[in-house]
Amino acid sequence: DAKTTQPPSMDCAEGRAANLPCNHSTISGNEYVYWYRQIHSQGPQYIIHGLKNNETNEMASLIITEDRKSSTLILPHATLRDTAVYYCIAESGGYQKVTFGIGTKLQVIP
């Protein structure tokens, strides 16, 4: 599985968009980009995933660059409940050997 690089921490004002970057420059053609988040002491929660097209669901949007070497998770209107550690993962689909890094600790500020 490709290694991903994320900033260790970010702050975002409540109500503003949170843009979380992820670098996955060694991603291979069959690897998807997955985003999960983990609120303190809970199990990780799936947010969104994609291969090469931008994706949107009720929680977030995922923007993947054309060369697939990086992506951005966008939380359109961050709330205090979005404070969590966000993990970006690049993995071969279907087998779920998910390799987590340290992730980005997002702090939403009132």
Partner 1 sequence: DAGVTQSPTHLIKTRGQQVTLRCSPKSGHDTVSWYQQALGQGPQFIFQYYEEEERQRGNFPDRFSGHQFPNYSSELNVNALLLGDSALYLCASSLWGLNTEAFFGQGTRLTVV
Helix, strand or coil, per DSSP, at residue 5 = strand
52 binds partner 1 (CB under 8 A): no
- In whole angstroms, the minimum distance from the beta carbon of 49 to partner 1 comes to 7
103 is a contact residue toward partner 1 (CB under 8 A): yes
CA distance 48 to 43: 16
Block residue for tokens 């998770």? 73
Closest by CA to 18, choosing from 1, 32, 37, is 37
**Judged by CB under 8 A, does residue 44 bind partner 1?**
yes
34 lines the binding site for partner 1 (CB under 8 A): yes
Total residues at interface with partner 1 (CB under 8 A): 23
Confirm or reject binding of residue 17 to partner 1 (CB under 8 A).
no
Is residue 24 within 8 Å of 4, Cβ to Cβ?
yes
Candidates 42, 53, 66, 67; binder of partner 1 (CB under 8 A) is 42
Contact between 4 and 89 under an 8 Å Cβ cutoff? The reply is: yes
Task: Give the residues lining the site for partner 1 (CB under 8 A).
Answer: 32, 34, 41-46, 49, 51, 85, 87, 93-103
